[in-house]
A and B are shown apart, each in its own frame.
Chain A
């Protein structure tokens, strides 16, 4: 169960916070509203051991850069998840046509990534590390989220198991996580 076991005790405090916070956010008092956000209390110290050298390991990449592929995927909605909705997820192939990538995330300055995508989607650098033999390989798919996950219940109950399934399907053995 891990962290999900604590959701039942966390959920009432989140609902209470939401009741008070949403009107404040609607008034533009976002900082004030999040000042009383009930941070989720984690449970346990999960730690996995790598079973082989990194030079033989297949790495996966997950980012919260809020990317989507123009014309092929629905753009990500630039709003926080305040209740119930499963966090948005897009699959970006590592050989994606860069000209079709759009950044839908409202929470960071896009100029850095527009100049060099490797600042938060380091596809070229990981390919170079694989080609140099420093890592075994990179999964063909990068998993992209929006971040801004305020209601962590669907994240823990749905998104994490979904990611585990997708990573296993691509024989991923270790995962690098890049927030934005």
Chain B
């Protein structure tokens, strides 16, 4: 997914990736990522927890607009 993010940024699309496995996602150097301590398969948030899911998406959206440079990382619990 990091490689897709890179290709899209090169084509002119700002992106944001959410990752629960930062060693894996970071190895391919995504332009921007939000790191969460969540389960694989529930990357955006826990089931039924709209608040956590929105936190993830809002942080991702913020990165697409406000990241200052390549390699931006935001962490959430």
Asked if residues B71 and A45 are in contact (CB atoms below 8 Å), the reply is yes
Q: Number of contacts between A and B (CB, 8 Å)?
A: 182
Asked if residues B53 and A45 are in contact (CB atoms below 8 Å), the reply is no
Total contacting residues, chain B, CB less than 8 A? 49
Total contacting residues, chain A, CB less than 8 A? 58
Name which of A46, A59, A110, A115 has the most chain B CB atoms within 10 A of its CB: A46
Asked if residues B28 and A47 are in contact (CB atoms below 8 Å), the reply is no
B6 interface neighbour in A2, A134, A172, Cβ under 8 Å: A2
Asked if residues A64 and B1 are in contact (CB atoms below 8 Å), the reply is yes
Asked if residues B64 and A50 are in contact (CB atoms below 8 Å), the reply is yes
Instruction: List B residues at the A interface (Cβ < 8 Å).
Output: 1, 3-19, 21, 25, 27-29, 31, 39-48, 50, 53-54, 56-58, 60-62, 64-65, 67, 69-71
Instruction: List A residues at the B interface (Cβ < 8 Å).
Output: 2-3, 39-40, 42, 44-50, 53-54, 57, 59-60, 62, 64, 107-110, 112-113, 115-116, 118-120, 122, 124-126, 128-129, 134-135, 145, 147, 152, 155-156, 159-161, 163-164, 167, 172-180
